[in-house]
């Protein structure tokens, strides 16, 4: 929006933010006073820098130039001849990764590695980039138009803390974590950050939650980012097995670059270093020439066989991560984790040597995402089928209490509705009836939950291949009472006979979720 954060200063009742902007060719600064500052300003976050929050992990894995361009000729050709989204291109003239954002309109982003200081970003003019595109494509599209050229560095890092400056500054998305672009982790993790933070901010700003609830954002999200950082790095290295198999090992290129920097850097001019570096790279790229990379060449035949093996066994770049995108579990935070010792995502217990099968296994354990099952309203006058996930409102901050139609569960749900009202929290009960209940007069919830009317009766629709109830599918007793947070994660799970005093126990649970009894840091 034409503004950049240029200064931050803590005050007695908030934070004073300086925002610089261009006003008719002159840079000016305006001051904004706020209670909280959210740093969602990307991988090179100025907010993070001003807050004095450092990053931890592996830096400068690769320097790249990103070229945003359009060519309907290229889009039309790829649509008809080689449709795809991601193209890794290795030939004797150039190496790059082409990302097709829109084949119909011919919109692309090209990623090209470069090696400063011998190769500088300034060397990549629009004309030079057009020449690189032609070399990579292998023919000359007539309508190449370069729209933008930017340098960037690939890192695998997580912010040492997500919350700083006395809980006044909060980092979100790429400002909090920087991943190699291998698997979509940056976007998915960033969206999940916002999903986790939004409801907590809402309750805080409405005076319902304690300011220390912001600390649960870090305790829940940072372990996930740490895990995803290592997984994206592992996936990036797997992707590099392809060029390495072709004789274009990136680690060798980086080693050559380091040798030139250390041995020639102080002896010969940069231009001459550039000639040496590019000459060596040109020799290296002959490994993918038709002469070497051929079934008629023993070396080329061996490399092609290895390449086929890598691809057939799925050992290269992976693009689908349902287990990691959906199956992460919060071990501590805005929840009552009676079984948190089993937590999947306590970073110190994770082993990253090999990725699991990648299959998402839904779980009804505390900290997990609410498991999906198709349900329908029990009332004969209501139609439609929806997911259990749709029980969580997308329009307001609301907690969902899931129970089976059992007398003890109704009593506990009543206590939860009462406490939620006292805390001024929006809540509703979902009564999960077994399949076939629609055919009977099931009006028990009206009398059992009176005087409250904020409930919904639904009937399970088990999958055709799995004739099990929602409770059985996710290995939880139907005597369980499950409290679901506004971000679709389970905050508490109990059974009526485990609750000694419904009122005081439920009040303690809500207090813990809202951080009302959490010490300030």
Is residue 44 in some structural domain? no
How many Cβ atoms are within 10 Å of 444's Cβ, its own excluded?
15
Per the structure, the count of domains in the chain is 2
The residue among 136, 159, 182 that closes a domain is 159
Evaluate whether 505 touches 412 at the Cβ level (below 8 Å). no
Q: Is 324 helix (H, G, I), strand (E, B) or coil?
A: helix
Number of Cα atoms under 13 Å in the Cβ half of residue 424? 7
196-211: pLDDT as tens digits: 999 999 999 999 999 9
Q: Mean pLDDT for each 10-residue chunk of the chain (521 residues)?
A: 92 94 91 96 95 94 95 96 93 94 96 91 95 95 96 95 95 96 89 97 95 96 95 90 90 83 74 84 90 93 94 88 91 78 41 57 93 87 87 94 95 95 96 81 80 93 79 90 96 92 92 79 46
Burial class (CB in 10 A: 0-12, 13-18, 19+), 37: buried
Q: For residue 414, what pLDDT is reported? A: 95
Q: For residue 347, what pLDDT is reported? A: 39
Is residue 358 in some structural domain? no
> Which residues have CB under 8 Å from 228's CB, separation 6+?
177, 179, 185, 189, 324
Does the N-terminal peptide bond of residue 451 adopt cis geometry, omega within 30 degrees of 0? Answer: yes
> At 387, phi and psi to the nearest 5?
-90, 155
Q: For residue 86, what pLDDT is reported? A: 92
363-407: pLDDT as tens digits: 999 999 999 999 999 876 677 899 999 999 989 999 999 999 999
Q: In this structure, are strands 455-460 and 426-433 parallel, antiparallel, or unpaired?
A: parallel
> At 335, phi and psi to the nearest 5?
-160, 170
How many Cβ atoms are within 10 Å of 398's Cβ, its own excluded?
19
Is residue 136 in some structural domain? yes
The residue among 101, 129, 159 that closes a domain is 159
Is residue 241 in some structural domain? no
Is residue 138 in some structural domain? yes
Q: For residue 307, what pLDDT is reported? A: 93
Q: For residue 271, what pLDDT is reported? A: 81
Structure tokens at 163: 């919350």
CATH number of the domain enclosing 62: 3.30.9.10
CATH number of the domain enclosing 388: 3.40.30.120
CA 33 to chain CA mean position, Å? 30
Q: For residue 266, what pLDDT is reported? A: 62
Task: Walk across the sheet containing 386-387 and list its strands.
Answer: 386-387, 374-377, 455-460, 426-433, 398-403, 481-484, 490-494
What CA–CA distance (Å, rounded) separates 39 from 72?
Answer: 37
Q: For residue 380, what pLDDT is reported? A: 66
Is residue 423 in some structural domain? yes
Evaluate whether 108 touches 183 at the Cβ level (below 8 Å). no
pTM assigned to the model: 0.88
What CA–CA distance (Å, rounded) separates 130 from 250?
Answer: 24
What CA–CA distance (Å, rounded) separates 213 from 205?
Answer: 11
Is residue 389 in some structural domain? yes
According to DSSP, the residues that pair with 268 across neighbouring strands are none
Is residue 7 in some structural domain? no
Residue 82 sits in which domain range? 55-159
What CA–CA distance (Å, rounded) separates 24 from 105?
Answer: 35
What CA–CA distance (Å, rounded) separates 194 from 190?
Answer: 6
The residue among 159, 192, 225 that closes a domain is 159
Q: For residue 352, what pLDDT is reported? A: 37
């Amino acid at each position: 929006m034409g503004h950049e954060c240029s200064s931050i200063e803590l005050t007695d009742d908030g934070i004073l933010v300086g925002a610089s902007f261009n006003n008719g060719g002159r840079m000016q600064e305006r001051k904004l006073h706020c209670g909280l500052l959210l740093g969602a300003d990307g991988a090179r976050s100025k907010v993070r820098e001003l807050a004095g929050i450092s990053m931890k992990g592996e830096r400068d894995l690769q320097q790249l130039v990103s070229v945003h361009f359009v060519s309907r000729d290229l889009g039309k050709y790829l649509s008809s001849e080689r449709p795809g989204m991601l193209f890794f291109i290795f030939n004797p003239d150039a190496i790059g990764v082409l990302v097709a954002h829109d084949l119909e309109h011919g919109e692309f982003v090209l990623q090209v590695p470069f090696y400063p200081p011998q190769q500088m970003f300034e060397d990549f003019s629009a004309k030079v980039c057009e020449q690189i595109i032609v070399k990579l494509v292998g023919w000359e599209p007539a309508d190449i138009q370069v729209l933008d050229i930017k340098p960037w560095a690939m890192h695998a890092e997580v912010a040492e803390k997500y919350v700083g400056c006395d809980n006044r500054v909060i980092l979100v998305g790429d400002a909090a974590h920087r991943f190699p672009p291998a698997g979509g982790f940056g976007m998915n993790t960033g969206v999940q950050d916002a999903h986790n933070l939004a409801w907590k901010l809402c309750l805080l700003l409405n005076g319902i939650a304690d300011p220390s609830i912001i600390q649960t954002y870090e305790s829940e999200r940072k372990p996930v980012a740490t895990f995803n950082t290592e997984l994206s790095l592992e996936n990036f290295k797997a992707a590099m097995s392809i060029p390495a198999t072709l004789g274009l090992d990136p680690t060798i290129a980086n080693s050559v670059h380091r040798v030139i920097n250390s041995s020639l850097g102080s002896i010969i001019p940069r231009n001459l270093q550039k000639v040496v570096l590019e000459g060596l790279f040109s020799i290296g790229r002959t490994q993918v020439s038709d002469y070497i990379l051929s079934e008629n060449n023993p070396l080329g035949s061996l490399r092609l066989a290895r390449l086929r093996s890598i691809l057939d066994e799925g050992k290269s770049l992976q693009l689908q991560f349902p287990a990691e995108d959906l199956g992460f579990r919060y071990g501590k935070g805005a929840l009552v984790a009676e079984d948190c010792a089993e937590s999947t995502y306590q970073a110190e217990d994770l082993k990253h040597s090999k990725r699991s099968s990648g299959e998402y296994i839904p779980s009804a354990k505390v900290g997990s995402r609410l498991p999906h099952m198709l349900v329908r309203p029990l009332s004969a006058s209501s139609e439609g089928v929806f997911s259990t996930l749709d029980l969580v409102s997308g329009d307001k901050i609301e907690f969902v209490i899931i129970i089976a139609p059992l007398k003890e569960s109704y009593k506990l749900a009543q206590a939860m509705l009462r406490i939620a009202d006292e805390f001024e929290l929006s809540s509703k009960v979902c009564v999960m009836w077994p399949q076939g209940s629609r055919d009977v007069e099931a009006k028990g919830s009206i009398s059992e939950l009176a005087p409250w009317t904020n409930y919904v009766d639904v009937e399970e629709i088990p999958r055709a291949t799995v004739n099990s109830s929602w409770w059985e599918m996710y290995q939880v007793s139907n005597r369980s009472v499950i409290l679901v947070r506004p971000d679709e994660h389970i905050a508490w799970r109990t059974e009526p006979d485990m609750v000694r005093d419904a009122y005081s126990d439920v009040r303690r649970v809500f207090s813990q979720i809202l951080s009302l009894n959490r010490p300030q840091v």
